[in-house]
Structure 1
Amino acid sequence: MPTMPQSIFWSRTDTAGSEQVLFDDSRGLAARGTLLAVDPIPWTARYQLTTAADWSTTRVEVEVEGLGWQRRVTLERATDRWRVTTAEQGDLDRALVDAGHPRAGLPGTDDPDRLADALDVDLSGSPLFNTLPVHRLGLSAEPADIAHRITVAWVLLPGLEVVPAEQIYTGLGPGRVRFASGTFTADIDLDDSGYVVRYPGLAERIDPR
């Protein structure tokens, strides 16, 4: 497995947790990352992400595990269709119910064709995945206040259910983009390369001293 030349670390601000990603963006994006969080129960997720040169997502594999359970989902896009495969061990639902939370949905999707319009994957709670549409849409180079309505394949953590989701990205000038989905809106601060520095209510980047 090749080494990666760059790394970013974020601290979650919505719950106790963090994310580190190792990546190479010399031609599209190749990335490996790890997320940890305690909500709704403690879990650790590891992902591998590959995009085409235009930053449209071609493959994402996510594995998440907690005490007594493990799930995995893989999304691969080819010829304008998504192939979704899953695996599961243990009982996530029992862990959630025992902790007083609702059951999770099944991992993956029973109808990959619902994802047909998605060029991007969004992994819930991960600031890295906001960078994909920022680059693919060229938001850093276009005039401010142009809204782009897109559909993403949204991978929910920790259960790994995959659903289509409508999102709106609007450039607000250098270093800032507005993200909206449903009734939720956040103005996200970006670095010069389009990676998240601060996502209000979710995460902040921690740079080495």
Structure 2
Amino acid sequence: MPKSLFWARTDTAGSEHVVLDDRQGLTAQGVALAVDPIPYTCRYRLTVGADWSASGLEVEVEGAGWARSVRLARGGDGWQVRTGEEGNLDAALEAAGHPAAGLPGTEEPDQLTDALDVDLGGSPLFNTLPVRRLGLGRAPADLARQITVAWVLVPSLLVVPAEQVYTSLGPGRIRFASGTFSADLDVDPDGFVVRYPGLAERIGPR
């Protein structure tokens, strides 16, 4: 049966709800809401293969007077990235005192060639992909794995390659690090985040 997971954001006012099926890889549809840097609604559809490498991600984000979309698909020749835009997100950001976001997507999809995982900004669901793909839930403590992900920033939907490190800390604990940032995540037996310090906590049945 499909699963339903719900997180409350702890870094800002917001939440995320996703309905997923992880019996053979992962298919997921989610909605994320947040007020930072400006209020937005983000909808996504994620497809992950039986080996837990990502094969596709579609994201739509909208706010007052603007909307953006990005579609990522991975095949034998790497990642294909398509985008759409309506209205003016940059104007909305600048009116709220934030810098412009720039264009969605990427002009250099070849930079994503090494990425087997995708990461959607602000979403704790996407940490599960490398945890499951690398078997970190069953790995010895202190086993660290460095990966490259296709990171989709929200709300801009800019897509960039990002280096991340996942380290097993023993049952139910995973350390996530990227650049100078790190956080020790609490995960359930299926690798889904229960608590992400400074970002989100899961609410409801576990």
For residues 62 and 134 of structure 2, the distance between their equivalents in structure 1, rounded to whole angstroms, comes to 33
Which of these residues, 81, 84, 88, is aligned with residue 81 of structure 2?
84
Which of these residues, 173, 183, 186, is aligned with residue 183 of structure 2?
186
Cα distance, 1:105 vs structure 2: 2.3
TM score, norm. by length of structure 1 = 0.97
TM score, norm. by length of structure 2 = 0.98
Identity of aligned residues (%): 69
C-alpha RMSD over aligned residues: 1.0
2:170 paired with 1:205: no
- The one-letter code matched in structure 2 to 1:113 is D
2:106 paired with 1:139: no
2:33 paired with 1:36: yes
- The one-letter code matched in structure 2 to 1:40 is P
Taking the TM superposition and a 5 Å limit, the aligned residue runs for 1:131-170 are 131-170=128-167
- The one-letter code matched in structure 2 to 1:19 is E
Identify if the C-alpha distance between structure 1 residues 105 and 79 changes in structure 2 by more than 3 Å, giving closer, same or farther: same
Taking the TM superposition and a 5 Å limit, the aligned residue runs for 1:1-209 are 5-208=2-205
For residues 87 and 203 of structure 1, the distance between their equivalents in structure 2, rounded to whole angstroms, comes to 29
Deviation by residue 1:42-72 (Cα, 9 ceiling, x = unmatched): 0000000001101100000000000000000
Instruction: Extract unaligned runs of 5+ from structure 1.
Output: none
Deviation by residue 1:77-98 (Cα, 9 ceiling, x = unmatched): 0005000000000000000001
Cα distance, 1:208 vs structure 2: 4.5
Deviation by residue 1:111-131 (Cα, 9 ceiling, x = unmatched): 100000000000010000000
For residues 73 and 171 of structure 2, the distance between their equivalents in structure 1, rounded to whole angstroms, comes to 32
What secondary structure is seen at the aligned counterpart in 2 of 1:140?
Answer: helix
Instruction: Extract unaligned runs of 5+ from structure 2.
Output: none
For residues 157 and 56 of structure 2, the distance between their equivalents in structure 1, rounded to whole angstroms, comes to 15
- The one-letter code matched in structure 2 to 1:53 is A
Cα distance, 1:192 vs structure 2: 1.1
Q: How many residues align?
A: 206
For residues 80 and 30 of structure 1, the distance between their equivalents in structure 2, rounded to whole angstroms, comes to 22
